[in-house]
Structure 1
């Protein structure tokens, strides 16, 4: 029909390319593209001689065009993996700092990024779904399959918070799944409920407790009156509020 044909792998890579924002995401995308580049290189008839053996040599190099491009792809892969290792070291340092500060972390996953990097060192997983999409149920099944395929700890999978986004595009929408939260990031609908659900999930996952203490504040400096303090207790102090 005179139109270009793309396989599923190429389309998935294009989707990731549209959503890659961080340096690590772009490096992971470049690494994932290498098998496709190698496969296309072998299929390229311009690299082969008349017998299809790929024996066209570059003058004075002792390499065929195919061998040269395979070597360049191998060098590129080595550079990408080296850059990813450096980022991994940096991420471990930052993770150690967060752990020393005892800050909880939340991993956000969706249909286009559920299998890119294992969120195994997070406290809570938030699964954001586009409920306006006609195949939203199939997308959910794909995400859950990818998460189970990562062999994450059972408590982490049990902490999953399901968020149904774009409800503004589905009039009268009500989640059928127990505990699912209906939100509209565009209109801000349901975001306060999501905030409370995340707080509860983090407290449960980390073993912290939210305590409220009411203490009469007397004295010349504080003036007379009543106030209170609220913080999360547990392995470390998560924060405090005074009133």
Structure 2
């Protein structure tokens, strides 16, 4: 079929009727197709929701369904089937044998995307670790001949270790190595962050569900050319840029990886660090795709992950209702009316630029911190701290005494904290 360089894929979303917590099937399938489209050299030929009362332990689907789907896949000359949900190693092996295609479950698919998108050293290491942890659980699939032995002739110390044990050990050793490398990288980043804390600019972090339009907004705000495609997970590593707002206020803007519901646990752990920038933020902009039918649920997912990360409750947050250009009629009127009644909500279109001026002004106002006056005494040996106060321009009055300097300063709480950390 067609281009030999392309992998032809079919997406299945198992809708298990006994699962009360299951997401709505059609939007979930649509999201899975968009996930697949984020992979290069992959073409989605077809997609469907498969309803079933419960998951079958051996093949996930019932035998009649397996046969019916098998015929369809063969006719369409499919190379890869993406199953939007968890698939056990045994189910994966049986379906691959039955359908003679490669099977990838939701975790495997997200891992593929993460590895394709990771740019920084830390991102790459985290992806490798998550992929190895995932692989370790699936060794049964790779080695069906568990009785195959490696090492020793069996004369001394038993029959030697099985292939699966050797592979598990190799993965564990590799994980230990990666963890050490990651610790070094994280230390370096901590130094970078410490250096950035000394910069007197507040940090504004963009967060949101994947594909909400964060990168497009980031480009609008910074004039930067961050990869902004209509793709899930287009951004994986936080991107930082210095920006001067129309008010003249300088801020550091941080674009983060898109959130997603049902993110497998090993991936939440692996990508926690790419969201560390959010923990440092002075202001969070929660960007929502307000045109999406499940915008509310997506917003709840984002808020849940922010809480899980430990983003301080006192960190101010502004809600940015993006993609307003795609909303029409009564719904548009309703949303505009709601936004007018809420000071922390801004309807915008990052694509057309409408509504952005109000948003910029609001960001400037949110960052206008209260200033308080303090009287300080610095010894002569405190030259570095005195120089820092002069650089910040917070000194109102200064007199020299026998043992140092008496100063009157007017500063923000953030500047005071930075001064205490010097």
TM-score (norm 2): 0.43
Q: Choose the corresponding residue for 1:160, options 317, 329, 340.
A: 317
Tell me if structure 1 keeps the 8 A contact 2:324–2:349. yes
Asked if 1:74 corresponds to 2:177, the answer is no
Shift of residue 198 of structure 1? 1.7
Give 3-state SS (helix, strand or coil) of 2:176's partner: helix
Q: Compare the two structures and name the one with the higher strand fraction.
A: 2
Confirm or deny that 1:135 pairs with 2:294: yes
Query: Contact 2:149 / 2:163 at 8 angstroms: preserved in 1?
Result: yes
| Structure 1 residue aligned with 2:359 | 194
Alignment of structure 1 residues 79-228 onto 2, 5 Å: 79-112=177-210, 113-114=258-259, 116-117=271-272, 118=276, 119-156=278-315, 159-171=316-328, 173=332, 174-175=335-336, 176=338, 178=342, 179-204=344-369, 207=370
Q: CA deviation at 1:140?
A: 0.5
Distance 1:134 1:126, change over 3 A: same
After superposition, give the CA deviation of every residue in 1:124-150 in whole Å (9 maximum; x if it has no partner): 111111112221111001111111122
Retained in 1: the 8 A contact 2:318–2:345?
yes
Partner Cα separation in structure 1 for residue 361 and residue 181 of structure 2: 38
Decide whether the 8 Å contact of 1:109 with 1:126 is kept in 2.
yes
CA distance in 2, matches of 1:147, 1:197: 22
The alpha-carbon deviation at position 22 of structure 1 amounts to: 3.5
Q: How many residues align?
A: 206
Equivalents in 2 of 1:22, 1:69: separation in Å?
Answer: 28
Moved over 6 A (4+): none
User: Structure 1 residues 100 and 71 mapped into 2: Cα distance closer, same or farther (>3 Å)?
Assistant: same
Q: Give the 3-state SS of the residue equivalent to 1:106 in structure 2.
A: strand
Q: Is the 8 A contact 2:286 2:318 kept in 1?
A: yes
Q: Is the 8 A contact 2:323 2:351 kept in 1?
A: yes
- 8 A contact 2:286–2:317 mirrored in 1: yes
Provide TM-score, normalisation by structure 1: 0.71
Q: CA deviation at 1:188?
A: 1.7
Unaligned runs of 5+ in 1: 210-230, 237-243
**In 1: Cα distance, 2:345 partner to 2:127 partner:** 31
CA distance in 2, matches of 1:134, 1:15: 24
